[in-house]
Amino acid sequence: MKIHEYQAKNILRRVGVAVPRGQVAETPEEAAAAFDELGQKLAVVKAQIHAGGRGKGTIREIPAQHGVQLVRGRDEAARAAANILQNTLVTIQTGPRGQTVRRVLVEEGCEIARELYLGIVVDRGRASPVLMASSRGGMDIERVAAETPELIFRESFGPDTGLQGYQVRKLARKLGLGGSSVRAADEFMRALCRAFVQYDCSLMEINPLVVTKAGRSAALDAKMTFDENALFRHPELSKLRDPSEEQPVEMRVAEAGLSYVKLDGNIGCLVNGAGLAMSTMDLIKLHGGEPANFLDVGGGADTEQVSEGFRALLSDKNVRAVLVNIFGGIMRCSTIAEAILTAYQSVGFRIPLVVRLEGTEVEKGREILATSGVDIIPANDLTDAAKKVVAAAG
Ligand code: ADP
Ligand code: MG
């Protein structure tokens, strides 16, 4: 589960990480009032969406405007908020569709001397969290990772013991920090690593972590993602969920017990079992098509699940044809065929549907589909199915 920058900063403040003062605003008037409250000459108005790249991202409706803006007065703050709020922010992370901005964070402006990068993820290979740091923080960290990965330093730490003093000193040296900055970095990094473990995060990113001209350090940006499987341990975090940031289809499908991930192609796939879903996507690509999604309806595939799956696929405007690929292991193919027919009729299918069934009672299942009078393209095996659906999608 992702949260907004202002929410992550509230958490960081609680665990003792230095964060600029700021306030959330939903209207230009609130943004102006927030500017006054800060009582500083310089402030920053920042779009709150669950995606990064806001500083370089542009507002679709007013392309000259960016998602993070420096302002030097209450009127400028109000104007920046008016340009951002209720408009669509397009960044490298939102994709071309962008994301509607419903809130801005108005925060005190920092005099930046240096921008560093800090990130924490779980390193599955080492089975432990790992802190990554770079002296090349700021808006180009993706380029640093791609072109000069040796400038990103890593230290893994035990969830129980946390980051050790010697690890901080090692990182500080590599980052070129000296004197009092080392002490500040020590507090900062260790507090972050503790928070990562305490809140069961799967990702934490501070980019940039700045050293100010006055020599202090502060988290100017904050990203936190929580492991959904551990959310039950943190009921207070569930309240931070922002449904408007999550794809509604993905939420509904998740409630029906299916796993659905939208992709950019035009062939909808409905498959039972994650392994079969992966190989179905591979085959579609092998035969020149592009899958529109990953969709695993689980081992069962009953009428309810297939209908919900169909609805998810048909709600995607890019989908030109659908491939149902089901292996009747636990369930009989005859039952699945009935489920497909019922679902087909209840959701109002308008595009070509290719069905490949295999497993228990497959003959009976195929017979049910063939004699139903419903316009379904039957396929005999995986390759046949992939070829037919790629052709149908044009
Ligand atoms: P994103 O990563 O989504 O682009 P950031 O919060 O990192 O958004 O902001 C982008 C850039 O804006 C930062 O790299 C920093 O240079 C500048 N910035 C952000 N917050 C502040 C602030 N409070 N004071 C001064 N500059 C800021
Ligand atoms: Mg950032």
pLDDT digits (tens, 9 = 90+) for 76-115: 999 999 999 999 999 999 888 899 999 999 999 999 999 9
Q: Copy the structure tokens of residue 167.
A: 């690890």
**Closest ligand to the CA of 44:** 1
pLDDT higher than 80, residue 300: no
Fold of the domain built from segment(s) 112-238 = D-amino Acid Aminotransferase; Chain A, domain 1 (3.30.470)
For atom 16 of ligand 1, the residue with the nearest CA is: 138
**Closest ligand to the CA of 104:** 1
CATH level 2 (architecture), domain 248-393: 3-Layer(aba) Sandwich (3.40)
**Closest ligand to the CA of 55:** 1
pLDDT tens digits along 133-176 = 999 998 888 899 899 999 999 999 999 999 999 999 999 999 99
- pLDDT at position 276 is 94
Spacing, Cα 244 to ligand 1 middle (Å): 23
pLDDT tens digits along 350-385 = 899 999 999 999 999 999 999 998 999 999 999 999
CATH class label, 21-108 = alpha beta
**Residues with Cβ within 6 A of ligand 1?**
20, 44, 46, 52-55, 68, 107, 109-110, 112, 115, 138-139, 207-208, 220-221
- pLDDT at position 212 is 87
Ligand 1, from 220, 223, 224: best to mutate by most atoms within 8 Å of Cβ? Answer: 220
Spacing, Cα 139 to ligand 2 middle (Å): 6
pLDDT higher than 90, residue 292: yes
pLDDT tens digits along 180-235 = 888 888 889 999 999 999 999 999 999 999 988 887 889 999 999 999 889 899 99
Q: Copy the structure tokens of residue 252.
A: 């509904």
Spacing, Cα 136 to ligand 1 middle (Å): 14
CA distance 310 to 308: 5
Spacing, Cα 174 to ligand 2 middle (Å): 21
Residues 296-311: what's their mean pLDDT?
82
Closest atom of ligand 1 relative to the 57 alpha carbon: 4
Closest atom of ligand 1 relative to the 52 alpha carbon: 3
Residue 161, Cβ neighbours under 10 Å: how many? 8
Helix axes 180-198, 165-175, angle to 10 degrees: 120
- pLDDT at position 332 is 87
Spacing, Cα 369 to ligand 2 middle (Å): 53
Ligand 1, from 6, 44, 49, 68: best to mutate by most atoms within 8 Å of Cβ? Answer: 68
The pTM score is: 0.74
Spacing, Cα 219 to ligand 2 middle (Å): 10
Write down the domain spans for the chain: 21-108, 112-238, 248-393
For atom 20 of ligand 1, the residue with the nearest CA is: 220
pLDDT tens digits along 185-200 = 888 999 999 999 999 9
- pLDDT at position 195 is 96
pLDDT higher than 90, residue 311: no
Catalytic sites, residue numbers: 117, 205
Residues 25/34, Cβ–Cβ less than 8 Å: yes
Closest atom of ligand 1 relative to the 55 alpha carbon: 4
**Closest ligand to the CA of 116:** 1
